Amino acid sequence: MTSMIMLPLAVAPAHAKSTASIQRVEDNLAAAGFIVKPANTPERAAMLMRLPANKFVQRIDGDTVTYVYADPKACGCLYVGTQEAYGQYQKAMQAKNLLDQQADNALAFRDDAWSWGAWGPWGPHWGFGYYGW
């Protein structure tokens, strides 16, 4: 028996995605081991349109779990991957999100009107405690 279960994708909704962001997702899918299956027949094209665009769908067939990502606009294709490929994709996305978060947190503040000196000393003992505030 085969069943389909929709899984949320940890990216913006399909209507908010740009072509460039969809392409990045698809590049990452290919790098994780997903296989591209083009909708190159009328039957495949019709079936492709029945799937939620740019979201993962999980297909369970006995003990086999397959993940499908449909892209009816940019490539007119399905990306099909195993449980391992999906796990690899998720791992890569978590690493990317961590790097993006670290980059956002470490932004260098530059404003010529800002006076760091107005806040007191900035040395190795600037925190709370004996040498601090």
Measured CA to CA, the distance from residue 130 to residue 133 in angstroms comes to 8
Predicted pLDDT at 6 = 47
Structure tokens at 32: 């994780």
Domain ranges of the chain: 2-10+19-96
What are the pLDDT tens digits along the chain (133 aa)? 555 554 444 444 444 567 777 778 888 999 999 999 999 999 999 999 999 999 999 999 999 999 999 999 989 999 999 999 999 999 998 988 887 787 777 666 677 887 777 877 766 665 555 555 5
Predicted pLDDT at 80 = 95
β-bridge partners, 52: none
